[in-house]
Structure 1
Amino acid sequence: MANQLRHVAIIMDGNGRWARSRGLERFLGHCKGTESTIDAVEVGVNLKLEHMTLYVFSSENWGRPSKEVDYLMNLLIEMVVKEIPDLMEKNVKLTVIGNMNRIPEKPRASLQSAIDKTANNTGMQLNLAISYGGRQEIVEATKSIAAEVAAGKLSIDEINDEIFAKHLYLKGAPDPDLIIRTGGEFRLSNYLLWQAAYSEFYVTNTLWPDFTKEEFMKAVEFFNTRERRFGKVLHE
């Protein structure tokens, strides 16, 4: 029997290595990677996922050369604007998790416009993690809870996992059932640290620009072989 798959999160790694292995500039790897992103969204819709969360740009990525950061921001605008009609047709709701205040004005405005246009869609929610860091998210949630306690809106004894999750960016959405990482690295890279507690983790050596729909389905097949225990013993 297949496991229930409600939420898939993806660490889209390997664009730069893909380009370098072909003697190309890094930006061409990012450009090629957008094709895999579009394919992944289509697979998610076909799987009837409730959520798909894509690690687009981490809080640490701001430390990359400014030329690359500028290119990534412009590529983001181009992709979002281009894909809005398709998102509407597929009934996909777009949202962004992360510190949007750090995103330059033009890409931030384009993202907000896309969020507003798709706000009433009722199909899969596509969460783009941009200027995102897992530790940052936990710190921000802690500050928010502390402020509620200080204001007398919440008592310390009321704080539990459920309350904490409601102060995270996805506000109580189901945790990822499956986290896919391309590019062969075995680390979370500060991604969904709270939510990944019991996620199944699938790593492939395939670089993100080569991550096809067929590769995605291999990850789903892997997920369906897993016995999900959530810290319990299911069988003696």
Structure 2
Amino acid sequence: MPRHVAVIIDCNGRRACHWGLPGSSGHEAGIRPLRELVELCGKWGIKVLTLLAFSSGNWSRSKEEVDFLMDLLERLLQSGLEIMFELIYPVLNREGMRISTIGDSSKLPNYSGKYDISRACKSIAHKAKDGIICLEDIDEKLIEKELSTSCTEVPCPDLLIQTGGELRLSNFLLWQLAYIELYFTQALWPDFRKTEFVEALHSFQQRKRWYGSRDS
């Protein structure tokens, strides 16, 4: 099993459009697979699950959609997560799992890979200016410690799942994806279920990871 799985939540609006429904219904439908995925990760020993639901680039969408997403996220935090915790709390407790947010929390869930790297560089620059570190201290390990994903013991994902049939990284975890295994599924996020997750995990298990080296 991968220790860390990252998922790009995509195409909620497309799913709603397919069924002739308003885009908001697609976003609401995306809560159910979220609950199921968290529970499965807990049951199967996957230590970290990172989800991209709203990035800094999404602020360019229409005000109507952004306002709805912000309202949905607020309602999810206030009530939806309480319901989810009731369903999966035994799993969270048994596995010692916790929930962390990454990105600029002052603007709610606002993250992008480029933002994360630039923020880390600024932090390192300030430490160098203040004499806390010197030039020779700056390496990959130090940069990784400054990234948002340093909140977990497994900061770099083993597997990235992109939903909705899209073939892109969506400015997500750009530093952390250096040696990640990519999996693209046609399933729209609201339709992503256990079957689709098992297929992604099976694909991951069939691969040999090189990490830039050659087979000995």
User: Is the structural similarity TM-score above 0.5?
Assistant: yes
CA distance in 2, matches of 1:189, 1:211: 18
* Residue number among 7, 27, 37 corresponding to 2:4 in the alignment: 7
* Residue number among 48, 52, 65 corresponding to 1:55 in the alignment: 52
Q: Structure 2 counterpart of 1:86, which letter?
A: L
| 1:133 maps onto 2:134 in alignment | no
CA distance in 1, matches of 2:153, 2:115: 18
CA distance in 2, matches of 1:223, 1:62: 33
Q: Structure 1 counterpart of 2:209, which letter?
A: R
Deviation per CA, 1:26-63: give whole Å up to 9, x if none: 00011111111111111111121111000010111112
Q: Report the TM-score, using the length of structure 1 for normalisation.
A: 0.83
| 1:97 maps onto 2:97 in alignment | no
CA distance in 2, matches of 1:188, 1:211: 18
Superposition pairs for residues 215-226 of structure 1, below 5 Å? Answer: 215-226=196-207
Deviation at 1:14, TM superposition (A): 1.2
Size of the alignment, in residue pairs? 206
Bigger strand fraction: 1
Structure 1 unmatched ranges of 5 or more: 104-129
Deviation per CA, 1:77-116: give whole Å up to 9, x if none: 332243233353322311100111112xxxxxxxxxxxxx
Q: Name the residue aligned to 2:180.
A: 199
**After the TM superposition, which of the residue ranges 70-79 and 82-91 deviates more from structure 2?**
82-91
**After the TM superposition, which of the residue ranges 135-144 and 94-103 deviates more from structure 2?**
94-103
Deviation per CA, 1:181-212: give whole Å up to 9, x if none: 01111110100000000000000111111111
Q: Report the TM-score, using the length of structure 2 for normalisation.
A: 0.91
Q: Structure 2 counterpart of 1:221, which letter?
A: H
CA distance in 1, matches of 2:31, 2:117: 29
Q: Structure 2 counterpart of 1:214, which letter?
A: T
CA distance in 2, matches of 1:224, 1:213: 16
Distance change (3 Å), C-alpha of 1:173 and 1:59: farther
Q: Name the residue aligned to 1:116.
A: none
Q: Name the residue aligned to 1:82.
A: 83
Q: Structure 1 counterpart of 2:87, which letter?
A: D
Where do 4+ consecutive residues of structure 1 move more than 6 Å?
Answer: none
Instruction: Say what the alpha-carbon RMSD is for the aligned residues.
Output: 1.4
SS of 1:195's partner is coil
Deviation at 1:74, TM superposition (A): 2.3
Contact 1:36 1:211 (C-alpha < 8 Å) held by counterparts: yes
Q: Aligned residues: percent identity?
A: 39
CA distance in 1, matches of 2:158, 2:14: 28
